[in-house]
Every structure is written in structure tokens, then in C-alpha cells.
Structure 1
Amino acid sequence: MAIEKKIEDSLELELLKESTLLFVEHNQEILNEVSLFFKTYFKEVLTSSSKQGALELYNKEKTKIDIILTDLDLPNQDGLEFLTNIRAISSDIPIVLSTKNSNTEVLEKVICLKISNYILKPIKNITTIKILNQIIEENYNKKLILVQKRELELYKDILDKENLVSETDPDGIITYANDIFCEVSGYTKEELLGQPHNIVRHPDNSSKIFKNLWDTIKAGKVWKSKIKNKAKDGSSYYVKATIFPILDEAGNIKKYVSSRFLVTQDEEEKQTLKRYILQQKSQKVKFEQELENRYNDMLKEALEAKEMSITSFVSELQREIKTLRSRINDDKGRILNLEHKVSDANKKAEKDHDDFLEKLSKMRDTTRFSYERYERFKKLNESLKEKLAKAQESIKVYQEYIEEYRHKIDDLNDVIKSYEDDKKKEEEKKASKK
């Protein structure tokens, strides 16, 4: 009992707490005892001791029933009929059998009804809970994979509509290009597929950028940067690129996915703004120098001539210089403010894009993890099927042994009967002689 409790405590049964079990057992005492145990693990346990009652329960509550544990040995072969009826209603609800039956013919019919597993009576509570939990986990992972595949398809569709997306093999040869990539680069899909991705590389980029890119993604990491590309017609366009590797089950890189959004307009505006700022700074320096020279020349003349009018004019000029300097500083402030706005807009766009790609990456990792768990469960299920097949072979052999022993017992019974008959006749003869 202590060992059973220890095993029980070590189980990870979180999914059972959110699941509903339909338990069918013709023996009312077993039904009450075992269902009471199951209720400590499952969210809800529905019970029935007959085929008809179980079918009515299933039709009424099928939207919330997650798994069925049913007695194959229901009276009048109702167990097999119940399974057949359930499979006519639902082809994917997981079913586990409990049985004493070792009839190979019956078990073969049961296997054809897509049974998840079976247990031999008497029911061992902890073993049964483990089996039910494993099947529910496997079923949950299958559903999770389907949901995540649909979500990934949705995100991929959104990504395709908003970004330049391409995929390459491990050598950088393009295997996929979406419509926006074709439109911006000026190439058709036929022209891009099978070509190295550097078909859009601009010669202005430093070779160090691409060395860093390949070193990063070959190490299984994500590479992000702004980069200048060249379209088919020779024109330039700028993109904010994110490139990440896709790994197979063994952890090897099987392809690279690149997502890029255009920043050409922002980059051109930024370059225009930089040129304007430099021009303004240059003009400011030149203008201030001219004003300074004029001021010094006129001040010198005023001092030499000692004329009040000139001195007054020079003072006015000095005030004008201060006013112009103030305006220039205001212009400088406005320019800096524009720079900050452009920078903030760029940062926000990059953050939104990075958040989106991070979510996509997390979903990709979760899907891969779920798929690996599903594959493990699948292998375990195949192993159980092999064990079932071997068990059936053993049952067949044991049945042959049993039949042989039955014949021997029958022969022995005949010998005993013959001996008893002979003995009886002898006794009758002795009695008649007296």
C-alpha cells in the first residue's frame, strides 16, 4: 500500500483534472468501488452498468466526454456491440477495454474498432490511471499540434501579406519566395527559385555583414539587421531583416526562413534629413562667420571715425545677430525633434516586428516539442500493439495447451469411469455369489 501511494504521488495527472471519463462495468460493486477511486483524479466520472445506459449517457454528454473505459464482458456480447455503436457515432474518442476474455477472435474484432489499449481484470487502479493518463496526453498533444498548425498557417498568411518572406536550403538557395518579395525585387518566382539569395545583394554592403550573418545562423541563432538590397532593374531598397534557422528532430538545420519589412521610405527620409541638417549647419557656420566679419569691420570703422550713427548701426547689427542666432537654435531644436520622431517611429516598427517574430518563434518551438512528444507516444502505442499481438500469440498457445489438457482429462475421466464400472461389476458379482 505504501508503494502504491508513492507511485500515485509521483504521477503527473494535470490533464486528468480537466477530463471526463465514461466508465462502463456490469458488476455494480466493482463499478462503485473503482469509480470512487477515479473521481479523485478526474474532473468528472460518468458511470453505467449496461450497454443501453452507457449509450444514452454518451449521446447526452459526448461533447464533454474525453475517454471511455468499458467492460468488454457485458452480458449477451453487449460489450462488443457497445463498442461498435460508439465507433458509429465517433471515430476518434479514445477507448480502453477491461476484460477477462482471452478469445482471440473477439480480440481481433476489438482491435479493428481502433481501441487505444486494454487491461486484464481485476482492474489495478494505479496501472489503469497511468494508461488513461498516457492516452489523454497523447490525444491532447495531437489536438495541440493541429491547433498550432492552424495558428502557424494563420501567422504565415499574415506574414506573407505584410512582409517579404523567403526560404532557403542550408546552402542559401531559394526554395520559397512570397508575392511581396517578388513584387519589390522585380523578379518572378520562377526567376528566384533555385537561385542563391545573394541575387538581391547590393554591392554597397560590406562583406563583413554577410560573414556575421552566416556565422550567426549556422550556429542556430537568429540574425537581425537593416540591409540594403538591389532589385532586378538596379534600383535600391532597404529592409529590416530577421533570419532564423529551422531545425529537424535531430537538431540539424534543414532550412532558413527570412522575414523582412521595407524601410526604404524611412531610410530615404532619414538620409534627406541628415543632408538637410548638414546643410543647415554649414550655412549656419558660414553665416555666423560672415556676420562676425562684418561686425568686426564696422566696429573698427566706427571706432576710427568715432561717429555715433555708425556705432548705433553696429549695435543694432549685433542685436540682429543675436536674433538670427536664436532662430537658428530654434530651427536646430525642431530638426532634433524631427530626428527623435523618426527614431521613435523606427523603434516602434522594429519592436512590433520583433514581438511578432518572437511569438512566431515560440509557437514554432512549442509545435516541435509537441510533435516530438506525439512521436514518442506514437512509438509507445506501436510497442503496445506489438505486445498485444505477442500476448494474443501466447493466448493462442495457452489455449492449445488447455485443449490438449482437456482431452487428456477427458481420456483420464474415461479411464476412471471404466475402472469404476469394472469395480462395480466385480462387487455385484461378489454380492450375487453370497
Structure 2
Amino acid sequence: MNSLKDLKDISADYTILYVEDDKDIANTLINYLSKFFKEVVYAKNGEEGLELYKQQSFDIVISDINMPKMSGLEMAEEIKNINNEQNIIIISAYSDIQNFLTSIKIGIDGYIMKPVDYNDINNLLFKTVKKIKTIKEHKTLEIKQKELLAELSRDNNQLKQFSNVIDNISIVSKTDLKGDITYANDFFVDVSGYSKEELIGKTHSIIRHPDMSKGVYQELWESIQEGKVWEGTIKNRAKDGSIYFIHNVIIPLYDINKNIKEYMGIGFLNTKEEIERRQFKKKVMTNYMEFKKTNINAIERISSQDSELNNLKQEHEILKESLKKIETKYKKANHQIEFYEKGTKEKDTQYLKIVEIQKMNLQKISESHKKSLIKIDLLNKELAHLKEEHDLKAQQVIKLNEELNEQTNIIYDLRDTIKNIDTCQNK
């Protein structure tokens, strides 16, 4: 059982359309519902309720069945045609089987008997609002995911543009975690004099100049393995033996789990022309790093949203399965009610026939008594016989009444069982 505080906390932002032709009942329930919900709009019959629904959206529709102009079930069917996902709760003073089956066919989300048990309606409203909230959160996450994907696509396009710029004005290479070259751009090939086939799979020692200290490379390697960005000037030797200097920046690249997956080196030739353009290149590098960071963050956000979306989908499936089980139980209970009501009607018919026969017998006795005063002794004996027969029939009537009462008690017990099933489910 959910507390009133739980219901108030979860339903404060939701609205209700309440349809009821009895003003006294309506005023009582409106006052009660207004304590929990943001707005409760009232309509006095199904026709008026349908018009209000067309003008304004509501989270929950609560309606009586028997009303003038348009019944609650007729209105509910029209609303479901407009919005099949609308949550509708029916309140009825009659346990009519046909109405109950029609409610299931239409797709009614809850059924409450009058007089209203506030524990029952509290639990039903809590469950309904929780379902609405789950569906809305699901849709919100889907929208956010689409926005993140669009943002990621834009960032990737811009990142690609920056990558193309860097690729055209700098020496770019990638290495795996062992230091073997996995990528070399055309500028690297032109400056080093080696072909891509000669560079791929080799380490950067292929272009290392003997004058360069091993300590520099050791410090470089330790830095990038720790996830740091290394920056410095390196003296290299081309394939033809010529010497060139590059200002190199080496960046660790991460996967979605924030593990280093490879390293990227971006180098700029240290000529006078390159020195003059260094400020521009530094700005390009800064922008490149920012976009890489944005890319990783966007991927992480999408992964988080996917996880939340999957959780909501699982919760939604559980609610759907629970609803199917309740409907199955309702159908079984309906069949039992139909069986017992049929038996009750047959007993009623037998009882009426017996009463009619007794009336006819008493009338014959009265007429015979008036016409046969002379044969009073004989008639007395015959009357005694008829009285015995009447007593026997009366006993039969009493027995039938007892059977009728038993059948009636069974029906009441069954209805209580249905009510308990619904209460247990809400728990």
C-alpha cells in the first residue's frame, strides 16, 4: 500500500479530467483529488467530457459509467480513438458483467466500485501515474539521445575539417601501444622520403637521428604512457640522409572506457616559414584537442542515456506483463460470475412456478368450499390432505430459498475476490 505522501509526491505535476453526473459524489472526489494533483477538471456527462478532452490534454481520465447524453464507456471509446495511450479509470456502482468486459475490450486502465474505497483508488492512481511518468521519461530520453547524436554528428564534421587542415600543414602519424606506426600522412612521406609501406609497422627509430639522446625518447614514452601530452623539438634524418627538425606534439587517444588505445603525433617543420606560422598551428592544435574532448564526452553521454533508456524499456515491459496477468484473472472471474448468475436465474424461475401453482390450488379450495357446504366433512378431509401437500410444497420453497441465498453469497464472495485481486496487484 502506498502512502498519501507517496501519491502527492509523484502526482503533483499531473492533471485529471473527472466525469460524473452526481454532483454530491463529484464534489467529494474533486476535493479529495485536488489535494494530490495539479488540476482536476470536472464534466457532468460523457458528451461534455469528450468536448473538454478535445480542447485540452489530460494525464488521467476518471469517469462514471451511467450518465445522460453519453455514457462513460462510450466517451472512453471515443477518447481511445483519439489517443490510444490515454489512461482511463472507470468508477461504477454496478458490477455488470457486460460493462466490465466492454471496459477490458476498450482498454480501460482501472476499474473501481462505488462506494469508492480510498485505499483502492490511491493505489490505482499511484500505479497509473508511475506508468505515465515512466513513459514520459522514456520519450524524453529518446529526444535527448537524438539531440546528442545530432550534436555528435556536427562535432565530428567540424573535427574532420580540423583534421583535414592539420593533415595538410603538418606531419601526422599514429602508433599502437607498442610504438609501431599504424598511420602516416602524405606530408610525413614527403618529408621523410620513405613510402607509407616502408613506414607502416616500423617504429619512429627509422627516422631517428643519431645525435638525439635516448633519454629524450625514454622521457617521451613514459609521459604518453601515463596519459600525458608530450611536446618538444626532435632532430630527424630523412631516407636520403638529409636532416630536418620538427616541433612535435604527441597525444594519447582514448576509447569509450577511457583506456589509451593509440598515440597520435602531430609535428611542424622548424623552418623560418613554419616558425612564423607556429602561432596559427598552436591554435589549430588547441581547437583539435577541444573537439576530441567534446567527442569523447558526447559518446559517454550517449552511452549513459542508452543505459537509462534500456532500464526504462525493461520497467515498461514488466508493467505490460503485469497488466496482462491481471486481465487474465479478470476474464476467469467473469466466467465464474456468469455461471453463478445463470444458476441463480434458473432457481428464481422454479420458485415463481411453485408460487403460482400454490395460488391456483388455494383458489380452487376457496371455490369448492363455497359450493359444497353440505359436504363439509368430506371437504375438511380433502382440505387436510391439501394442507399436507401445501406444507410439503412450502418446505420445498424454503429449501429453494436457502439454495438461492447460498448462490447469492457465492456471488458476493466472488466479487470480493475480484476486489482483493485488484488490491493485491496494486500493492
**TM-score normalised to the size of structure 1?**
0.56
Q: Is the 8 A contact 1:94 1:135 kept in 2?
A: no
Match of 1:50 in 2: 45
- Could you tell me which of 336, 345, 368 is aligned with 1:406? 345
Q: Distance in 2 between matches of 1:376 and 1:97?
A: 25
**In the TM superposition, what is the alpha-carbon distance from 1:365 to its structure 2 partner?**
1.8
Q: Report 1:249-260 matches (<5 A).
A: none
- The reply to whether residue 373 of structure 1 matches residue 312 of structure 2 is yes
Match of 1:29 in 2: 24
Going from structure 1 to structure 2, the CA distance change for 1:263 and 1:45 (only over 3 Å counts) comes to: farther
Q: Distance in 2 between matches of 1:7 and 1:372?
A: 25
**In the TM superposition, what is the alpha-carbon distance from 1:61 to its structure 2 partner?**
2.0
Q: Is the 8 A contact 1:148 1:367 kept in 2?
A: no
Q: Is the 8 A contact 1:55 1:86 kept in 2?
A: yes
**In the TM superposition, what is the alpha-carbon distance from 1:32 to its structure 2 partner?**
1.4
**In the TM superposition, what is the alpha-carbon distance from 1:397 to its structure 2 partner?**
1.9
- The reply to whether residue 17 of structure 1 matches residue 12 of structure 2 is yes
Q: Which runs of 5+ in 1 are unaligned?
A: 165-179, 185-197, 207-212, 214-222, 228-235, 246-255, 278-337
Question: Which amino acid letter does the alignment assign opposite residue 143 of structure 2?
Answer: V
Q: Which runs of 5+ in 2 are unaligned?
A: 168-180, 184-199, 205-216, 218-223, 231-247, 374-427
Going from structure 1 to structure 2, the CA distance change for 1:356 and 1:199 (only over 3 Å counts) comes to: closer
Match of 1:133 in 2: 129
Q: Is the 8 A contact 2:138 2:312 kept in 1?
A: no
Match of 1:78 in 2: 71
SS at match of 1:415: helix
Question: Which amino acid letter does the alignment assign opposite residue 87 of structure 1?
Answer: K
**In the TM superposition, what is the alpha-carbon distance from 1:74 to its structure 2 partner?**
3.2
CA deviation profile, 1:34-77 (whole Å, cap 9, x unmatched): 12111111111111121121122222223xx2232223343466
Q: Is the 8 A contact 1:224 1:243 kept in 2?
A: no
- Could you tell me which of 242, 253, 256 is aligned with 1:241? 253
Q: Is the 8 A contact 2:8 2:35 kept in 1?
A: no
CA deviation profile, 1:221-260 (whole Å, cap 9, x unmatched): xx97779xxxxxxxx9976533125xxxxxxxxxx99999
Question: Which amino acid letter does the alignment assign opposite residue 244 of structure 1?
Answer: I
Q: Is the 8 A contact 2:253 2:264 kept in 1?
A: no
**In the TM superposition, what is the alpha-carbon distance from 1:98 to its structure 2 partner?**
2.9
**In the TM superposition, what is the alpha-carbon distance from 1:398 to its structure 2 partner?**
1.0
**In the TM superposition, what is the alpha-carbon distance from 1:361 to its structure 2 partner?**
2.1
Q: Is the 8 A contact 2:64 2:92 kept in 1?
A: yes
SS at match of 2:256: strand
CA deviation profile, 1:80-109 (whole Å, cap 9, x unmatched): 321232234334333333345655555555
Q: Report 1:99-138 matches (<5 A).
A: 99-100=92-93, 106-123=99-116, 124=118, 125-138=121-134
Question: Which amino acid letter does the alignment assign opposite residue 241 of structure 1?
Answer: L
Question: Which amino acid letter does the alignment assign opposite residue 14 of structure 2?
Answer: S
- The reply to whether residue 149 of structure 1 matches residue 145 of structure 2 is yes
Going from structure 1 to structure 2, the CA distance change for 1:241 and 1:98 (only over 3 Å counts) comes to: farther
- The reply to whether residue 8 of structure 1 matches residue 4 of structure 2 is yes
Match of 1:97 in 2: 90
Q: Is the 8 A contact 1:224 1:240 kept in 2?
A: yes
Going from structure 1 to structure 2, the CA distance change for 1:157 and 1:361 (only over 3 Å counts) comes to: same
SS at match of 1:33: helix
**In the TM superposition, what is the alpha-carbon distance from 1:15 to its structure 2 partner?**
4.7
Which moved further from structure 2: 94-103 or 391-400?
Answer: 94-103
Q: Distance in 2 between matches of 1:141 and 1:396?
A: 38
Q: Is the 8 A contact 2:18 2:41 kept in 1?
A: yes
**In the TM superposition, what is the alpha-carbon distance from 1:428 to its structure 2 partner?**
4.3
Going from structure 1 to structure 2, the CA distance change for 1:397 and 1:263 (only over 3 Å counts) comes to: same
- The reply to whether residue 358 of structure 1 matches residue 357 of structure 2 is no
- Could you tell me which of 345, 368, 391 is aligned with 1:429? 368
Q: Distance in 1 between matches of 2:158 and 2:325?
A: 50
Match of 2:267 in 1: 268
Percent identity between the two aligned chains? 16
Q: Is the 8 A contact 2:16 2:61 kept in 1?
A: yes
- Superposition RMSD in Å: 4.7
SS at match of 1:18: coil
Q: Distance in 2 between matches of 1:380 and 1:367?
A: 20
Going from structure 1 to structure 2, the CA distance change for 1:122 and 1:71 (only over 3 Å counts) comes to: same
SS at match of 2:37: coil
- Could you tell me which of 18, 36, 42 is aligned with 1:41? 36
Going from structure 1 to structure 2, the CA distance change for 1:355 and 1:162 (only over 3 Å counts) comes to: closer
Q: Distance in 1 between matches of 2:256 and 2:153?
A: 18
SS at match of 2:21: coil
Going from structure 1 to structure 2, the CA distance change for 1:92 and 1:204 (only over 3 Å counts) comes to: farther
Q: Distance in 2 between matches of 1:153 and 1:239?
A: 26
**In the TM superposition, what is the alpha-carbon distance from 1:407 to its structure 2 partner?**
0.6
SS at match of 2:337: helix
**In the TM superposition, what is the alpha-carbon distance from 1:149 to its structure 2 partner?**
3.0
Write out the 4+ residue segments of structure 1 that deviate beyond 6 Å after TM superposition. Answer: 223-227, 236-239, 256-260
Q: Is the 8 A contact 1:224 1:242 kept in 2?
A: no
Going from structure 1 to structure 2, the CA distance change for 1:395 and 1:69 (only over 3 Å counts) comes to: same
- The reply to whether residue 417 of structure 1 matches residue 413 of structure 2 is no
**In the TM superposition, what is the alpha-carbon distance from 1:400 to its structure 2 partner?**
1.7
Q: Is the 8 A contact 1:70 1:97 kept in 2?
A: yes
Question: Which amino acid letter does the alignment assign opposite residue 256 of structure 2?
Answer: F
Q: Distance in 1 between matches of 2:65 and 2:111?
A: 10
Question: Which amino acid letter does the alignment assign opposite residue 380 of structure 1?
Answer: L
